[in-house]
Structure 1
Amino acid sequence: MNPIEIIHNPFIVETQFLINGQPPAEGCKLSSYKESRLQVWVEKLFDELSQLFNGDNNFDVTFRGVESDYLDVVEAAKVAAAKGMRVDMHFIEADPAEERLTRIRELMEEAKQHPEFQHFIRDNAEVSQSFEEAFNKDFDVYVVATMSSGKSTLINAMLGQDLLPAANEATTATIARITDNASMGQRFTARRVTNDHSVAESSDNVSLEVLQAWNSLSDTMRIDIEGKIQSIQERDSVRLVLTDTPGPNNSQDEKHQLKTMSFIQDSQRNPLILYVLNASQLGTNDDKNLLGLVAETMRKGGKQSKDRFIFVINKMDVFDPEKGEDLPSVLARVKKYLVENGIFNPLIYPVSANLTRLIRKPHDQHSRRERGDFSTMAEMFSEVPSMNLLKYMPITDRVKRNLQEKKLSDLMLSSGLPAVEAMIDEYIDKYNFPHRVKRAYDAMIKAIEVGLNETQLIEQLDQDEKTLAHINEEIQALEYRQEKGFDTQAYKDKIAREGKALPRGTEDELATLENSTGKYLRTVSVRFTGSVEPRIAEMRVKEVEEELQFQYRKLINAYETVFITSQQIIRDDLHAEYQRYIVDLFKDCQHLKLPILDSLQKTAGDISFNLTVKSHEVQTKKVKVGSYEVSDSTWYNPFSWGSTRTVYKYGEEKSVDLEKLWRERATRIDTDFARLVVAARNEIDNGKTLLIDQFMAFMGREFETKFNELMDSLKEKMTDRNVRKQALEEARELQAWINQFKAKLDKTLAV
């Protein structure tokens, strides 16, 4: 057996591999995984080991880390075993992520209480924002489905009461966001938010009837609900936000449809998606479009991109094994359907949401029909072993253990939904907590670096009077150069000369989107060849119109993602520009080669500036808010082309020339997509301009003030011995505290 040791720290994203007790060579593939999250490389691990050992496929693996990561290695080992490898696994468990997040929160509070260190957190916008995001308790789960999947029934089952309207028709016309609040018992509050982002109505104890009425109002943008979500584990550091999204086929508002699609496309935050399918009714066009989007998103990342999509196969109670309806065959059909739509190895969870709902609903509140339904389902799920849905689910040993600890009835477990709820908890432990721990750790390290730079600067004032005099001369020279200031006009002239080109990475992303659009439109044109009956032509046009609308919305969300990433790239570029300015400012100040000048340069480089384009200043949404006429369509339906009338014109003819039909519309469609490209590029460019303007404003005002404060403070300490002596004592004391604090922080994250 080849001994392999893996030590994975998901909190600082660091992995140590030991092969026969030694780290792999630098050129080895495993070495490239040292700073990557485990889920990025775990599925390739054993194939890489097989190559490394020239086909000797016997491995004795010891894993040190958190349980959720270990279970991923175990799953990869099972796949390897199916290929003929032999893998023995051993586990050394590290403290879970939630405990570490709690400890870091305690350390942060300690840091914020320190009279000197607190301003390194408070005065640095980047540090403050990172802390805010790390300790934001909200965790998003989006429920996505097409019509008649039983989505509202599923959410009601999770809530433990009938709150959302449910029927075998399109019931969700707007976005309902439900925030968990365990202190509210059985009561739910709600607010109706309109398209202008104002609260139009509210209720302290909302009912199904009120929500149904609000849902039908055309100006409702979102309904915010708060109350206890019974099914999810209570945690101090997590607050579940369950969002019921409108299906793409039944939204009252185009922006709602775009929002639903954006949840799926969000590969930055990676929110958990419950994709609900009707087990007895697969294969609608809406599913095809939406599943294509899911498949595309899943291909973009590692294991997390797959784990964040949970396919809930609802309405399993409609099948009766005694009538020859075999559940394994049903699930095989579902899996085949998903694979045909580009989703490979999907996580499939069969459930009967209605059974779960009726179990959780007090029996004295059941209607006559519900009593009959419950009696039938309870008898079938209790007496027919194959109706135990839990046994068909890809759940980990940890999830099984968590379900056992809940001491649920066999009937409840058989309904399947509790396992889905346990998988939500698993995802939080596996991805959300480690991400938040790392964000908090990185923010704390940044504050520590700024603090140490400042204390080291002051500590180096412990010099003789002659040296201090020389330092003072250098500082005066620095001040003289700084008085010239950041030449805003020169910077503007430089931009004008060099052009306002977008960053290379942004241009590459935009080019990829434009190429993919052109490629897609070419594939559509291929479907318009030959002559067909008018009825077929009408169907073809309708089908393509829906696909084009979907593609258009997908492109809008993709451009919004490019906008966000471009903002970060531009901010990084401007930060580099700022550092170059600092280096240039100090380059003639190194005559004495004094360490204090290096520390002074670092401290000046740490001066915080926060470049952010606020949502009210530039929104990529502008690409879809305008209104212009395309044929007789509006901006939100640029592909309707008057298609129905056109097809009917051929109603008395025997055939329709599809190529001619498409040719007459292709130019208009190309124009619509081209307009979107131009609008998106303009918004991204406007965002860059605003960031540059903010940077120039900072250099013209804030930097000068902060830099002068730093210089004045130094000069006072150099000219007044008593002030200097006190500052040195305080700096050394603070430096000792920071070093002790960092040791505690590192210990908190050690594996």
Structure 2
Amino acid sequence: MKVIIDYDTVMFEFKIECNDSTIQNSLKQTIKDNQGKRITDWVKEFIKKVKEETNNDPFAMKIIGCDLYEEQYIKELFNEINIEFEKTVDDKDIQDKYKAIDNFLEYAEKSKEDIVKNALRPNIENIKTHRSTIIEIPVIATMSSGKSTLLNALIGKDYLPEDTGATTATTCDIIVNNHLHNFIGKAIFDGKEEKNTNGNISEFLKDWNLKANENINDKNDEKKYPDLKLQIEGFIPNLNTSNFNLHFIDTPGPNSSQHSHHKEKTFSYLKDNQNLPIVLYVLDPEKMDSKDDDFTLDEISKVFKNNNKSIDRIIFVYNKIDREDIEEKSIKEILNKVESFLERKGIKNAKIFPISAQYAKFAQIENNLTNKKKSDLRNYRDNFIHNIDDNYKGYQLLEYAPLTNSQREQLRKTITNGELDSELVYSGLAALKLYLEDYIINHHKKTQYKELKTIANKVYKQIETSIQLEEERLEEITEGQKKEKEENQKKDIAILDKKKKEAIEDINKIKVDKNFIEQKSREFTMSFNDIKNKTFQREELSKNEAIKLIEETNEVIKNMQISIKTDLISEMNNQLHKYLENIKKITKDKFSLDANNIEINAFNAEMENSVNAININQLHKYQEEKVETITREIESKWWIKRKLNWKVTEEHKVSKTIIKIVDLYRDTLEPYSKTFTITLEDYKQNFIEKFCNIHDSFINRIETEFENTKNNIFEKYTSSMSEDKIHKVMKLKELKKLTIDIKNFRRN
């Protein structure tokens, strides 16, 4: 069985086909539930569903249209399934699609046309929202779960107060600004702003949290610091923001009884499908049996069930993992317990990062720690880092973080960078940071442009509809006249379309005759075979015989070159001219093409691979001296032998020059045969290419003429209007064409 997923990586829309109709029907609801979600959000559950439907029988899968990140993610998730990826969209294509969306919206915003402005107006605020480069990352949990400790670990400082009383006071935004060397603090209230001046951010925040508590406890209607909000801004090491403005937010716990606004603000982050904040929800091992988290987790479960956006933006941080005894229970068992806890709350497939925020923070501020805390840091190192000598594996948090294999490998390499980098990996913080970095570029930005494209489609559709309505309004004719006009227009276009199809069909019927080239090739082969046969009749030749053979070969070469320059090239040019005239004749009666300027470049009468005659003076390379013994009869010196007619013989040595025929053929004669074969093949390919160029040129001109004539037909049926109205209609057509041209992201 084979399942095919045709996926749009920009709009998160997809179609699924299965060659088993029963399973196809059973997947309908799954397909409906996941439309609008990114494939990485649902592919795991989808494949699980397919396995259930097939009773775990083997099946193949093809996925069309993923981006590189999605492909890698799925490959690592399902290496046991035969998954074929087709038409993978690379990063450049993604950026081109983003640019096309931006271009269209920019055009719409700058346009002075009322139709465009009216279509854009209801969407302006929505566009601004989704174009925002600010990404809020609220840290949410019940009180004293370690939210502020986690944020201190993320920024690598000990700035945010971590005691219960302070954290319930007010929110604090931590703005990432990699251009600042030192953090600055701000207190904003009643339209005023107060900055820290002494550089001690920790004391600044403590003081203002005390004032915030006074604000809450003040029973008077007039607060001393109305709408108080705290901010700190500065550089966060080892965090790539991808040019987004990240705002980490330390929120008071939603279960705080002091201020109901805390709960409202927390839930607004969870349900914000416009700005899409990335939510870090901190789970405390010591409070999971209490009911402090219940209400918030119930709200999160609703988001997971009902939200059609990416749920990967809600991340669970299982903090204080150091409180778990891994000698009694493995990290895997601990995380299974957390997963089961969340599933009981209705939250499935959650991203859970095991972390010791305290360890990560201590490692980064080691030089400022007290002796007691330095001792705590040494204990963290002993517990978390593996020890080969003791065969102790440590906490191994990296292996259980919800990362891809390539992300894990990236972090393993950072362990060798130095002690601090390795401790951030061992504490689990580096895994969380890397996930945030990759999520911003691979999820948040994609979701942002998915929404922008939806808006752009909506604006384009409204422009298109408005143009159509305006065109109809300008046509002051009766319904009967309109119907007659439309029918005549359709008839004329149908006739025109038929002409185009017939012309293209007739052109495609003309075949390219290459037989004369192949015949010439056979003639040349036979000529060289004759020479070869004469050459190998004997093993050796005298020098004079070799000279005669070379002269004969040179004559053959000369005749071949003359044949190419006259017969072959002439026939090739004749064939091309004949083909050109045939096409002109075919199209002449159907379209008024300007075909007279379509001419061919004749083949050059000179051979492209010119062959020189064999140089007889090179024969010395192949000659050798051969000595023979010759026996002949002579007259005897003795009269008695002459009388008896006895035969007397005499031997003597004779030297002569011979030519090694095998070497001569291999080095001199045979290469000429190959040269002519290559030359003829080059001419053949050039010949075919010229045919194709003529063919394509005519097809393109027919298509262009078809469009021009069709436009003339449209113009013909608007001639009954006044010149003013004709001008307006033409302006609408220009607007329509411009809008379509700019909105080329429709071609995704």
Give 2:402's match in structure 1, choosing from 394, 400, 413. Answer: 394
Alignment of 1:13-28 (within 5 A): 13-19=12-18
Aligned twin of 1:254: 260
Say if 2:64 and 2:87, in contact at 8 Å, map to a contact too. yes
Name which of 434, 450, 458 aligns with 2:446.
434
Pairing 1:179-328 to 2, within 5 Å after superposition: 179-193=175-189, 198-199=191-192, 201-203=194-196, 207-216=201-210, 217=212, 218-219=214-215, 221-236=228-243, 238-250=244-256, 252-264=258-270, 271-280=277-286, 282-301=288-307, 304-305=310-311, 307-318=312-323, 327-328=331-332
Q: Does 1:357 align with 2:361?
A: yes
Deviation at 1:87, TM superposition (A): 4.3
Note if contact 1:279-1:330 (Cα within 8 Å) is conserved in structure 2. no
How much has 1:390 moved relative to structure 2?
1.0
Q: For 1:90 and 1:4, locate their aligned partners in 2 and report how far apart those are by CA, in whole Å.
A: 12
For 1:253-272, what per-residue CA distance to the aligned partner results, in whole angstroms no more than 9, with x for missing partners? 22123322443455776643
Cα 1:112–1:48 change in 2 (3 A) is same
Task: State the alpha-carbon separation in 1 of the partners of residues 240 and 21 from structure 2.
Answer: 42
Q: Deviations over 1:616-635 (max 9, x none)?
A: xxxxxxxxxxxxxxxxxxxx
- How many angstroms does 1:174 deviate by? 1.5
What do residues 526-552 of structure 1 show as CA deviations (whole Å, max 9, x unaligned)?
xxxxxxxxxxxxxxxxxxxxxxxxxxx
Post-superposition Cα deviations, 1:409-444, rounded to whole Å, max 9, x if no partner, equal: 322211101211222234334542232212222332
For 2:323 and 2:349, how far apart are their aligned partners in 1? Answer: 25
Instruction: State how far apart, in whole Å, the 1-side matches of 2:349 and 2:121 are.
Output: 42
CA distance in 1, matches of 2:331, 2:97: 42
Match of 1:348 among 343, 352, 363: 352
**Which whole-Å deviations, capped at 9, do the CAs of 1:363-393 have from their partners, x for residues lacking one?**
5444444433333333443344222321122
CA contact (8 A) 2:186 2:193 kept: no
Q: State how far apart, in whole Å, the 2-side matches of 1:167 and 1:123 are.
A: 52
Q: 2:375 aligns with which of 366, 372, 377?
A: 372
SS of the residue corresponding to residue 386 of structure 1 reads: coil
Q: 1:102 to 1:285 in 2, by over 3 A?
A: same
Cα distance in 1 for partners of 2:465, 2:383 equals: 70
Distance 1:65 1:202, change over 3 A: same
Given the superposition, is the C-alpha separation of residues 383 and 43 from structure 1 closer, same or farther in structure 2, using an over 3 Å criterion?
A: closer
Query: Structure 1 stretch 373-382 or stretch 296-305: which is displaced more?
Result: 296-305
Provide closer, same or farther for how the CA distance between residues 404 and 13 of structure 1 changes in structure 2, counting only shifts above 3 A.
same
Q: In the alignment, residue 235 of structure 2 is paired with which amino acid?
A: K
Instruction: Give the structure 1 partner of residue 703 of structure 2.
Output: none
Instruction: Give the aligned partner of residue 512 of structure 1.
Output: none
Partner in structure 2 of residue 420 of structure 1: 432
Match of 2:293, SS state, is helix
Cα deviation, 1:223-269, whole Å, max 9, x if unaligned, reads 24443344532213x32222211113445322123322443455776
Name the SS of the counterpart of 2:239 in structure 1: coil
Alpha carbons of 1:202 and 1:123: their partners in 2 closer, same or farther (altered >3 Å)?
farther
The equivalent residue for 1:534 is none
Q: Distance in 2 between matches of 1:341 and 1:31?
A: 25
Map 1:732-747 → 2, pairs under 5 A: 732-743=733-744, 745-747=745-747
CA shift digits 1:314-359 (9 cap, x unpaired): 22334566x7675445445444544555544543211121222233
2:111–2:117 Cα contact (<8 Å) kept = no
Write the deviation string for residues 549-570 of structure 1: whole angstroms up to 9, x where unpaired: xxxxxxxxxxxxxxxxxxxxxx
Q: What one-letter code is carried by the residue in structure 2 that aligns with 1:438?
A: K
Q: CA deviation at 1:38?
A: 4.4
What CA deviation, in whole Å up to 9, does each residue of 1:260-315 have, x standing for no partner? 2443455776643212123355423313443344345434447944x343221222
Alpha-carbon distance, 1:73 to partner: 4.7
Tell me, which stretches of 5 or more residues in structure 2 are unaligned?
216-226, 388-392, 487-718
Measure how far apart 1:595 and its partner are: 11
Once the 2 structures are TM-superposed, how far is the Cα of residue 8 of structure 1 from its aligned partner? 1.0
- SS of 2:132's partner is coil
Which whole-Å CA distance do the structure 2 matches of 1:122 and 1:401 have between them? 52
Take 2:459 and 2:262, find their aligned partners in 1: how far apart are those partners?
40
Give the number of equivalent residue pairs. 490
Distance 2:455 2:135 in 1: 20
1:61 is paired with a residue of what secondary structure? strand
- Equivalent position of 1:59 in the other structure: 60
C-alpha RMSD of the superposition = 4.3
For each residue in 1:435-457, what CA deviation from the matched residue of structure 2 results, as whole angstroms up to 9, or x when unmatched? 22122223323333344456567
- Match of 1:446? 458
- Bigger RCO (CA 8 Å, 6+ sep): 1
Question: In structure 1, what is the equivalent of residue 47 of structure 2?
Answer: 46
Distance 2:470 2:285 in 1: 69
Unaligned runs of 5+ in 1: 463-467, 472-588, 598-716
Normalised to the residue count of structure 2, the TM-score between the two structures is 0.56
What amino acid does structure 1 have at the position aligned with 2:454? Answer: D
Q: CA deviation at 1:65?
A: 0.8
Q: What amino acid maps onto 2:99 in structure 1?
A: R
> In structure 2, how many angstroms separate the alpha carbons of the residues matched to 1:596 and 1:434?
47
Contact 1:181 1:229 (8 Å CA) reproduced: yes
Q: Distance in 1 between matches of 2:479 and 2:233?
A: 61
Deviation of 1:150 after TM superposition, in Å, equals 2.0
State whether residues 7 and 64 of structure 1, in contact with CA within 8 Å, keep that contact through their aligned partners in structure 2: yes
**Higher Cα Rg: structure 1 or 2?**
2
Distance in 2 between the 1:332 and 1:453 partners? 54
Identity of aligned residues (%): 23
TM-score by length of 1: 0.56
- Distance in 2 separating the partners of 1:289 and 1:450: 42
SS in 1 for 2:283: strand
Segment drifting more, 384-393 vs 165-174? 165-174
Secondary structure of the structure 2 residue equivalent to 1:183: coil
Q: Distance in 2 between matches of 1:189 and 1:68?
A: 38
Q: Given residue 37 of structure 1, which amino acid in structure 2 is its aligned partner?
A: K
- Aligned positions of 1:279-678 closer than 5 A: 279-280=285-286, 282-301=288-307, 304-305=310-311, 307-318=312-323, 327-361=331-365, 363-384=366-387, 385-400=393-408, 403=411, 409-453=421-465, 470=476, 593=482
What SS class does the counterpart of residue 286 from structure 1 fall into? coil
- Read off the aligned partner of 1:376 and give its amino acid letter: N
